[in-house]
Structure 1
């Protein structure tokens, strides 16, 4: 694309300080470095964790920051050595990365990658620098994803290539809300065919739990 290798100026919703509302600003998004992917975000969901960011109740978040972690978009450009995606691919940025190398990624029953933000801070990219700036100030990433920006940069192992026909305004929820609820039914509760299930609260996560229960063969869902 014509923007490859160049700084992109675009809009983003920036949280400048805890307890302050989001502010839509023009930000600069630097090109991806080696092992990184720059994505044009087409759609994003809003998760309650983003509200926690704004309230300052997540201890590992540094301000100013661009929140958002339920996104879907199109690869704009890639850094040196990236092989899993190419410009034009539809992708979902992952707030829980999959490095493919740690003991958790190699265990088929776990997806707790050791590069997840509980183990490794994700306020900056792995080289400890940011690709975002605004008004001459460095802006932090949020769990390497920051989908409240029109463009974002993430490590290659935090990107999943998806079907070219996938509707981005729907599959963006796979980034957190859907997978949280569906996985709770399939992987945590291990719902079996014929089960009776009760789901308390039908927000995005709760509705995804219902879908998981149905897929698992539950006979009654309350």
Structure 2
């Protein structure tokens, strides 16, 4: 086009050395990479640290406190329901032969019954809260110990902790052989559920356990394969 000048870069003349680039003020050129870049070993150490203390995104101590509190709350709710219902039925049985005959008598009858129900529920709830909270604390401690020994937090440690907790609970309470089987089965199911959720959380967060990382990955090329027979 007219009025425009096109400049074409000429190739360098043979035998003429080019001057090295000049760094801006305050900057220097170097062939040594910066030492602040993370290395592969640092990535592995970070992954191991996350694996050992990364269950549910919590460290060991906060996780134990959370598990114990949640187990105690669940036990208190269950114990309060069972204790209140039993106290109410017991009160009805104790006073079945002396029912009130006046309106005021019925008022105090139901009022006393409500007090008995609340008191029985609180007592039974406190008992169940201590038991379930202690079991959750025992399970969490054993699981954290397995995580520290193996250096990895995965579902295998959760299953082992569940089985160990069931066996210890059966030994402390001197259960029968059938009850021991049920206790171990419950611990296994609980450990499988807790470990599975923990591994799922780690996988979604981008830190899958080595147990899942070593599994062979299925190729996605088969998704586009046609199911119709070839045409002749």
The two structures share one fold, judged by TM-score above 0.5: no
Structure 1 or 2, whichever has the larger Rg, is 2
Greater share of residues in strand: 1
Give the TM-score taking structure 1 as reference length.
Answer: 0.20
Relative to its length, the structure with more helix (as a share) is 2
TM-score, normalised to structure 2, is 0.19
